[in-house]
Amino acid sequence: MTVLDAGVVIALLERRDAHRPAARSALTDARERGDQLVLPASAYSEALVGAIRTGPEARAKVDQFLDELPATIAPVSRSIAAEAAHMRASHGRTLRLPDALVLATARVIGADRVVTTDTGLPDVGLPVDVIGT
């Protein structure tokens, strides 16, 4: 199981994104492994912001893209929220809440890896593949 961060989804959707080739490669690798793709609800919300600013068609394109992957949207459960809070308490300002929610989702659902474009994540004991670096 691979958890995708918002930056990866944005890179896949935006043709001019500098991370797009690396995001495509990471997605190909995950598919070849037969991984289930999971997008935390918090990352889904982040990925929608630009599309919503653009309009209803762009927003629909995000959902269509995720359906075709397919990627499951993981809700923020009580256990995920608590794990994210624990991570934030342990790492302070080096771990922002959106990133903590992604990492906590991966930990709670037992994901094999997290794929992100974020180079600043602290080590929380999870396999994290930073793409585009």
pLDDT interval class at 120 (50, 70, 90): confident
pLDDT for the residue numbered 84: 97
pLDDT for the residue numbered 24: 95
What beta strand segments (E) does the chain contain?
Answer: 2-4, 37-40, 71-74, 113-116, 128-130
Per-residue model confidence as pLDDT tens digits over 84-110: 999 999 998 889 999 999 999 999 999
How many Å separate Cα 13 from the centre of its chain?
Answer: 13
In 10 A of CB 113, how many CB atoms? 19
pLDDT interval class at 132 (50, 70, 90): confident
Q: Which domains are seen in the chain, by residue range?
A: 2-130 (3.40.50.1010)
In the chain, what percentage of residues exceed pLDDT 70?
A: 99
In the chain, what percentage of residues exceed pLDDT 90?
A: 95
Distance CA 47, CA 127 (A): 22
pLDDT for the residue numbered 73: 98
